[in-house]
Amino acid sequence: MTTTMRSLVVLGAGTAGTMVVNKLRHRLPTDEWRITVVDKDDTHDYQPGYLFLPFGLIAPEQVRRSRHALLADGVELVLGDVDLVDTAAAEVHLADGRRLGYDQLVIASGTTPRPDQTPGMLGPEWHRSVGEFYTYDGALALRDQLAGLSGGRLVVHVTEMPIKCPVAPLEFTFLADDFLRRRGLREQVEIVFVTPLDGAFTKPVASRELGHLLADKGITVETDFLVEHVDQERRVLVSYDEREIPYDQLVTVPLNMGADFVARSGLGDELNYVPVDKHTLQSTEHPSVFVLGDASNIPTSKAGSVAHFAVEVFVDNFLEHVAGRPMTHSFDGHANCFVESGGGKAMLLDFNYDTEPLTGTFPLPRVGPMTLLKESRANHLGKLAFRHVYWNLLLPGRPLGLPAHMSMAGKVPAA
């Protein structure tokens, strides 16, 4: 008796897409399942490394590898741009006319900065006096800009939430403070953090702690600022309520949006994120479509840790789903974020859909070695070590020994 081959197509070979195909290739029979992953190029970037590039804390070659070298044997990598997904025909249409049929589809196309969505952000000063570190090229251009910064006003700005790695703009601000102090220039440079939120971060408990840290470092915070346009000629940010914030060097986080093919396919919300059940990550409209990583609308951080924990839950659910059984596993929105705070220290946040960041130790009760909601050297070393973990354990789909669900062991609510 011959077995009909079934096809799993994954759109996106970033963090979530790479993890899931590698895990499933070891769990799905090779004589029953064909696994194909689609991406526009063969370059996989370690995106947390972008934060360190502008300060010369990591070499450019340490953040880039070939996608196909990271994929398990038996996974086919198709290079091309996705035009749209035809859910009625169960086909993915590529821009060059190729079509890929699927039995099950995983959208893992992430989120990307869209400076074109803010008037005046793109212009002759883009990647010069208007910088960003959410792309490889932007981070390298910003390194050159910061090398020449000797005084004036450095403004770090978030356009709108949600963004990829919501703590990254704060980390950049703390690292810039440290960078300028080490060069003896901190007194000559005013640092301003500009956010659309009413505080430093999305979670009130963490926002309070991070707000104290900004104040302690002499960093001005401008809250509730919704940018309407950037005036590159006058070097000012202008809000909808006509507030103006002048800058000498702007470091902006543009509006983040999901992939354009999501909009063309009629699958997304106004920011091109796909609505899913937040516990199973299954599309609310299409049972054969799942969404992993930053591409979905789940109400938690768009971060690598979320992708990692979600993939762990998804794999078990997916195996039940394709066997025709109910999905019995539930993702709790677990997020785990290091926050570089400068001076060789970092904070660590651990939270989920229902639980605010707590104080305590991680991953082991009382032992740690990392501390939650408190700066420490161990947290900084943990963040630095994560690059090795990412390339050698996380992407290949090897077990990390961390529970996918948030553990309350060793934790207490922040005072």
Say if residue 215 is in the same domain as residue 145.
yes
What is the mean predicted confidence (pLDDT) over 290-300?
97
Is residue 121 assigned to a domain? yes
Alpha helix locations (H) across 49-184? Answer: 136-147, 168-182
HSE-CB of 415 using CA atoms within 13 angstroms: 1
Is residue 198 assigned to a domain? yes
Say if residue 266 is in the same domain as residue 354.
no
Say if residue 285 is in the same domain as residue 242.
no
Alpha-carbon torsion (244, 245, 247, 251), positive or negative: negative
Q: Which residues contact 144 (CB under 8 A, 6 or more apart)?
A: none
- How many angstroms from the chain centroid is the CA of residue 8? 24
Assign residue 166 the CATH number of its domain. Answer: 3.50.50.60
Closest CA to 327 of 317, 319, 336: 317
Task: Tell me how crowded residue 88 is: count the other CB atoms within 10 A of its CB.
Answer: 7
Strand pairing class (249-253; 152-158): parallel
Contacts 24+ apart (CB under 8 A), 280-284: 280/314, 280/317, 280/327, 280/329, 280/330, 280/331, 281/310, 281/313, 281/314, 281/317, 281/331, 282/321, 282/327
Say if residue 124 is in the same domain as residue 71.
no
Say if residue 302 is in the same domain as residue 363.
no
99: helix, strand or coil: strand
Q: Single out the residue in 228, 256, 284 at which a domain terminates.
A: 256
CA-CA distance, 370 to 382, in Å (whole number)?
8
Is residue 330 assigned to a domain? no
Say if residue 158 is in the same domain as residue 222.
yes
Is residue 57 assigned to a domain? yes
In the chain the first and final C-alpha atoms are separated, in Å, by 65
pLDDT at 164 over 80: yes
CA-CA distance, 316 to 371, in Å (whole number)?
31
What is the mean predicted confidence (pLDDT) over 66-95?
98
CA-CA distance, 307 to 314, in Å (whole number)?
10
CA-CA distance, 373 to 355, in Å (whole number)?
14
* pTM of the entire predicted model: 0.96
pLDDT at 16 over 50: yes
Is residue 142 assigned to a domain? yes
Is residue 328 assigned to a domain? no
CA-CA distance, 153 to 90, in Å (whole number)?
52
Q: Single out the residue in 256, 273, 303 at which a domain terminates.
A: 256
Q: Letter for the amino acid at 69?
A: A
β-sheet bridge partners, residue 246? 236
CA-CA distance, 360 to 167, in Å (whole number)?
20
Which domain does 300 fall in, by range?
6-110+259-322
Say if residue 144 is in the same domain as residue 238.
yes
- Reported as a single tens digit per residue, the pLDDT across 84-93 is 999 999 999 9
Say if residue 216 is in the same domain as residue 309.
no
Task: Tell me how crowded residue 129 is: count the other CB atoms within 10 A of its CB.
Answer: 15
Counting the structural domains of the chain, the total is: 3
With a pLDDT cut of 90, the percent of the chain lying above it is 85
Q: Cβ distance 257 to 114 under 8 Å?
A: yes
Say if residue 24 is in the same domain as residue 99.
yes
- Reported as a single tens digit per residue, the pLDDT across 250-293 is 999 999 999 999 999 999 999 999 999 999 999 999 999 999 99
Say if residue 33 is in the same domain as residue 99.
yes
Closest CA to 111 of 287, 306, 309: 306
What is the mean predicted confidence (pLDDT) over 149-175?
96
Q: What is the pLDDT of residue 1?
A: 46
67: helix, strand or coil: coil
What is the mean predicted confidence (pLDDT) over 218-230?
97
What is the mean predicted confidence (pLDDT) over 136-150?
98
Q: Single out the residue in 234, 256, 278 at which a domain terminates.
A: 256
- The residue ranking higher by pLDDT, 412 or 267, is 267
β-sheet bridge partners, residue 229? 238
Is residue 245 assigned to a domain? yes
Is residue 329 assigned to a domain? no
Say if residue 177 is in the same domain as residue 290.
no
Peptide bond into 369 cis (omega under 30): yes
What is the mean predicted confidence (pLDDT) over 13-24?
98
238: helix, strand or coil: strand
DSSP string covering 263-324: HHTT---TTSPBPB-TTT-BBSS-TTEEE-GGGB--SS-BSHHHHHHHHHHHHHHHHHHHTT
Q: What is the pLDDT of residue 415?
A: 58
Say if residue 235 is in the same domain as residue 140.
yes
Q: Letter for the amino acid at 375?
A: E
